[in-house]
């Protein structure tokens, strides 16, 4: 019988350690453990360093902010304390003390405004009082004085996006409403404030639910783990080796940040889907994109929808997949109820609520084309500034009300144009391409761009048609007629005037010795002898080229260039009909010479820039120069008023826009309309990106958009008080027979009051109708004082003087002229007593 010998454990261990193989195994184990420990220390140190650098720079981009122009309110404007409070809330004001932007106190018939340290209106507190639905008084609290108007805080358009085209609106933990916090916790990490970054209970629970339901609906990652991925890892990488750095980063985040800080970082970095060409990050931007409101104002169902987007945001995009988004929203609401975050009644009411998103087309109210334009200007003109990673505040010229009007007008106008194109292109046996549109609205006196839309859908195409060169067609004709009317400054009675006649008939034009040009009129219709006024009103091509030939093609080009149209083309007859491409934005700038008494104003977009400390580093200086004599500018405006009254732009009046306005249609390959009131100038372009013929004239494609926009725009208080265009000194009026262009007599069946630069009015009686007596120009007012010389056109618009905005350029001098009465009544029939009085005059 074998006897078992008990060997002590220490002896066995000693025997093992004395054995060579045992020694190898021990050393191998120690080496392995040391290696693993070294690797852990290395990666812990590595990710700690990376995270430190990330947190030091800011876990989310600290980019510059773009603001719209401030909205001014004036005594007499319609308004209530509630409407002003709503505007202030949209701009980031709080309803009680505190807040970096500022706060307000609302009373029954007044609102007290206290701008904060980050406000545009720093140190400019005020009180606005109301009565009868209007502002009755505005008081500056700086000195308790009454003032006429007060600027409300500009609204944030967007944070400047980076090269990844990420848009976000930064929010702080205290800015996130409880309903949003609860929705996030219920949907993503209910035990967030109780675990240390990893939640074993949550992982086991999620796995059990997935197994039981046989689908992968439950997420196992905590908020900290999700934040770790979004900060330094590729969130799309779901392989096992991504888990290792994720674990290290999660551990580091929990050690370096508080739970509030982790939650805040998460709320600003989480990806919430695609909107056009931008990726949306953070619940602040998500609330704006999907609901058009500030995060603080979200309702329970809206908060649940945003929280539900975290998982598969593109597959649950409420714009494209509303039913999927609503279904996921209701799941989140159920989670909130199960977590006792909401009551059963709140759950039932929220589940029954309809899905109400703002509509995907609302992206254009954020002015993406305008933002791109401003971004390009910043990168070009301020290369020494890092706007992508510093908290600059850029205040722009954009009027968000007008921007929304522009978006709505293009949407409404293209809905009218699309069926017309469909019929026309099918008539040619062609497929119908997608037509595009651009709209630019500027203040004609300051050049501030108030609204800009560069296409019908920014998400589908980021090409800004407002900057694309396209032939303007007849929109260019006013520059031809202006060059002609400017002859009245030097040629006296032989000058070209609104009643100078030209023969409208098929004509061959010769230039460059042996070259020919044979234009035609629209629909091959010719009118015979016509006045200059009728030629422009009917947009006749043959008389226009004859006028350009008479005044000189080079003079026409020089005028256009002085007005900001960068045309690099030789002076040929085709120039007169707008054959050379120019950007619609430049056309808007060029038309300021008509709307602004001959002064060209360069379009501008940035009003001022402040750095992160609030110091002013840039303020805009308006670039302007005198291009036309004010009398010539007035004559052109008067002619273009007739375009809307009886000419190709008469559709403006037929569509109900009745305010004093002037404008011009244009048709080339594309459709155009350019026009203005005393308050606002707007240019509309409609065409195809591939340059094919749109087959619609400007009156049918661009005019409807222009009219719709101007009707909307002039309902706002800032643009409501439109006044008629006033004649400057040196304009006279005479009653003219519209057929002969000569002074009307008692025998003329009709006459009209025509306007002239004093000294250029006709002196001969109408030769067509005979008769005696006439109503001639009024000379009752004293002659005006000699005005300072102003140019028809700069001799060299590219000179240093011209580029600096100086008006001291070569010019034709102005002779003193008698002052005018009010001009330009429409033609009317002569009555019996008119004829009798004419005999004895």
Of residues 214 and 588, the one with the higher pLDDT is 588
| Span of 275-289, 292-306, 572-586, 700-714 with lowest mean pLDDT | 275-289
Residue 688 contacts residue 433 (beta carbons within 8 Å): yes
CATH of span 65-158: 3.30.2060.10
Query: Which residues neighbour 28 within 8 Å (Cβ) at sequence distance 6 or greater?
Result: none
Residue 128 in this model has a pLDDT that exceeds 90 = yes
**Regarding the domain delimited by 161-358, which CATH topology (the fold level of the hierarchy) does it fall under?**
Penicillin binding protein transpeptidase fold (1.10.3810)
Is 239's pLDDT higher than 70?
Answer: no
In 525-605, the DSSP E strands lie at 528-531, 599-601
How far is 770 from 764, CA to CA, in rounded Å? Answer: 11
Identical fold between 65-158 and 465-720: no
Per-residue pLDDT tens for 59-69?
555 678 889 99
What pLDDT band is residue 50 in, cutting at 50, 70 and 90?
low
Asked whether residue 91 carries a pLDDT value surpassing 70, the answer given is yes
Per CATH, which fold does 465-720 belong to? Beta-lactamase (3.40.710)
- More confident call, 650 vs 427: 650
Mean local confidence (pLDDT), 20-24: 76
Q: Between 491 and 690, whose confidence is greater?
A: 690
Percent with pLDDT over 70 in the chain = 79
What is the predicted pLDDT for the residue at 389? 64
Q: Residue 157: its pLDDT value, please?
A: 84
pLDDT for position 677:
98
What confidence score (pLDDT) does residue 782 get?
A: 32
> Taking 60 as the threshold, does the pLDDT of residue 260 lie above it?
yes
pLDDT tens track for 628-671:
999 999 999 999 999 999 999 999 999 999 999 999 999 988 99
Strands (E), 287-431: 393-396
Domain boundaries along the sequence of the chain: 9-57, 65-158, 161-358, 465-720
Using the predicted structure, report yes or no on whether residue 777 has a pLDDT greater than 60. no
* Residue pLDDT, tens place only, 357-397: 876 544 445 688 999 899 889 888 888 887 766 778 999 99
Please state, in angstroms and rounded to a whole number, the distance separating the CA atoms of residues 160 and 819.
Answer: 53
Predicted local confidence at residue 827, as pLDDT: 43
User: DSSP states of 420-480 as a string?
Assistant: HHHHHHHHTT---PPPEEEEEEE-TTT-BEEEEE-SS-TTT----GGGS-B--GGGGHHHH
Q: What is the DSSP letter of 557?
A: H
Q: What tens digit of pLDDT does each residue of 742-765 get?
A: 899 988 998 889 999 999 999 889
Per DSSP, the three-state class of 523 is helix
For 654-668, b/e burial (b = at least 16 CB within 10 A) is eeebebebbbbbbbb
Q: What is the mean pLDDT of residues 47-56?
A: 67
The residues, ordered by sequence, that sit 6+ positions from 379 with a Cβ below 8 Å of its Cβ are 387
What's the burial of 525, exposed, middle or buried (CB within 10 Å: 0-12/13-18/19+)? exposed
Quick one: tokens of 43?
Answer: 């990666």
pLDDT score, position 364: 47
* Higher-pLDDT residue of 56, 821: 56
The two structure tokens encoding residue 706 = 């222009």
- Residues 176 and 296: their CA atoms lie apart, in Å, by 6
- For 418-445, what is the mean pLDDT? 89
pLDDT for the residue numbered 670: 95
**pLDDT at residue 775 tops 80:** no
Rounded CA-CA distance 730/655 in Å is 35
pLDDT at 218 over 60: no
- 163 pLDDT more than 70: no
Mean pLDDT for the chain overall: 83
What is the predicted pLDDT for the residue at 52?
Answer: 67
């Amino acid at each position: 019988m074998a006897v078992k010998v008990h060997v002590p454990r220490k002896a066995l261990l000693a025997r093992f350690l004395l054995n060579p193989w045992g020694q190898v195994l021990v050393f191998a184990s120690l080496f392995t453990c040391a290696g693993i420990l070294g690797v852990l220390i290395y990666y812990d140190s590595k990710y700690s360093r990376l995270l430190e650098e990330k947190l030091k720079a800011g876990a989310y981009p600290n980019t510059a902010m773009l603001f719209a122009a401030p909205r001014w309110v004036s005594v007499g404007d319609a308004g209530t304390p509630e409407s002003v409070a709503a505007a202030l809330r949209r701009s980031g004001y709080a309803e009680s003390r505190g807040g970096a932007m500022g706060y307000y106190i609302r009373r029954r018939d007044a609102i007290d405004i206290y701008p904060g340290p980050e406000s545009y209106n720093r140190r400019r507190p005020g009180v606005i009082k109301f009565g009868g639905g209007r502002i009755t008084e505005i008081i500056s609290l700086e000195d308790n004085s009454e003032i006429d108007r007060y600027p409300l805080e500009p609204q944030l358009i967007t944070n400047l996006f980076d090269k990844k085209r990420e848009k976000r609106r930064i929010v702080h933990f205290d800015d996130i409403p409880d309903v949003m916090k609860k929705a996030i916790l219920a949907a993503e990490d209910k035990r967030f404030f109780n675990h240390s970054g990893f939640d074993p209970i949550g992982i086991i629970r999620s796995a059990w639910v997935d197994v039981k339901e046989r689908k992968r609906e439950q997420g196992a990652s905590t908020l900290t783990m999700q934040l770790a991925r979004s900060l330094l890892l590729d969130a799309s990488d779901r392989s096992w080796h991504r888990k290792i750095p994720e674990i290290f980063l999660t551990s580091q985040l929990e050690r370096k940040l508080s739970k509030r800080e982790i939650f805040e970082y998460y709320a600003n970095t989480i990806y919430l889907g695609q909107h056009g060409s931008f990726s949306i990050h953070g619940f602040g931007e998500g609330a704006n994109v999907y609901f058009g409101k500030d995060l603080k104002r979200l309702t329970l169902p809206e908060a649940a929808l945003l929280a539900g987007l975290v998982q598969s945001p593109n597959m649950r995009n409420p714009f494209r997949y509303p039913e999927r988004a609503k279904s996921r929203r209701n799941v989140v609401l159920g989670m909130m109820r199960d977590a006792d975050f909401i009551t059963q009644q709140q759950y039932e009411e929220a589940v029954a609520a309809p899905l109400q998103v703002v509509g995907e087309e609302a992206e254009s109210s954020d002015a993406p084309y305008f933002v791109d334009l401003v971004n390009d200007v910043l990168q070009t003109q301020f290369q020494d500034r890092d706007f992508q990673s510093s908290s600059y505040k850029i205040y722009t010229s954009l009027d968000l009300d007008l921007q929304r009007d522009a978006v709505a007008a293009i949407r409404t106008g293209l809905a009218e144009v699309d069926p017309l194109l469909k019929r026309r292109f099918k008539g040619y046996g062609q497929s119908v391409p997608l037509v595009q549109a651009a709209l630019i609205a500027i203040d004609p006196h300051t050049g501030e761009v108030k609204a800009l839309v560069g296409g019908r859908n920014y998400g589908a195409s980021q090409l800004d048609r407002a900057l694309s060169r396209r032939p303007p067609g007849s929109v260019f004709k006013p520059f031809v007629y202006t060059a002609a009317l400017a002859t009245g400054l030097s040629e006296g009675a032989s000058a070209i005037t609104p009643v100078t006649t030209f023969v409208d008939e098929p004509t061959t034009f010769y230039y460059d010795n042996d070259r020919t040009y044979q234009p035609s009129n629209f629909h091959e219709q010719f009118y015979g002898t016509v006045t200059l006024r009728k030629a422009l009103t009917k947009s006749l091509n043959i008389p226009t080229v004859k006028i350009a030939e008479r005044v000189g093609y080079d003079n026409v080009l020089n005028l256009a260039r002085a007005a900001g149209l960068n045309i690099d083309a030789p002076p040929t007859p085709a120039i007169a009909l707008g054959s050379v491409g120019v950007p619609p934005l430049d056309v808007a700038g060029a038309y300021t010479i008509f709307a602004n008494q001959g002064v060209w104003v360069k379009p501008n977009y940035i009003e001022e820039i402040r750095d992160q400390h609030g110091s002013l580093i840039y303020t805009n200086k308006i670039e302007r120069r005198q291009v036309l004599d004010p009398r010539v500018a007035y004559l052109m405006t008067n002619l273009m008023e007739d375009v809307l009254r009886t000419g190709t732009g008469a559709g403006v009046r037929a569509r109900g826009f009745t305010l004093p306005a002037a404008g011009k249609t244009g048709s080339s390959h594309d459709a155009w309309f350019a026009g203005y009131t005393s308050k606002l100038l707007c240019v509309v372009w409609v065409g195809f990106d591939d340059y094919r013929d749109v087959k619609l004239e400007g009156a049918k494609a661009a005019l409807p958009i222009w009219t719709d926009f101007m009707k909307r725009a002039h309902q706002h208080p800032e643009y409501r008080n439109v006044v008629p265009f006033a004649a400057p000194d040196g304009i006279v009026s005479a009653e003219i027979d519209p057929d002969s262009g000569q002074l009307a007599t008692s025998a003329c069946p009709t006459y009209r009051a025509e306007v002239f630069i004093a000294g250029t009015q006709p002196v001969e009686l109408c030769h067509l109708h005979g008769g005696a007596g006439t109503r001639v120009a009024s000379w009752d007012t004293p002659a005006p004082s000699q005005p300072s010389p102003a140019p028809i056109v700069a001799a060299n618009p590219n000179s240093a003087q011209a580029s600096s905005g100086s008006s001291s350029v070569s010019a034709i001098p102005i002779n003193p002229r008698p002052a005018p009465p009010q001009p330009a009544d429409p033609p009317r029939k002569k009555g019996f007593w008119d004829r009798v009085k004419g005999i004895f005059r």
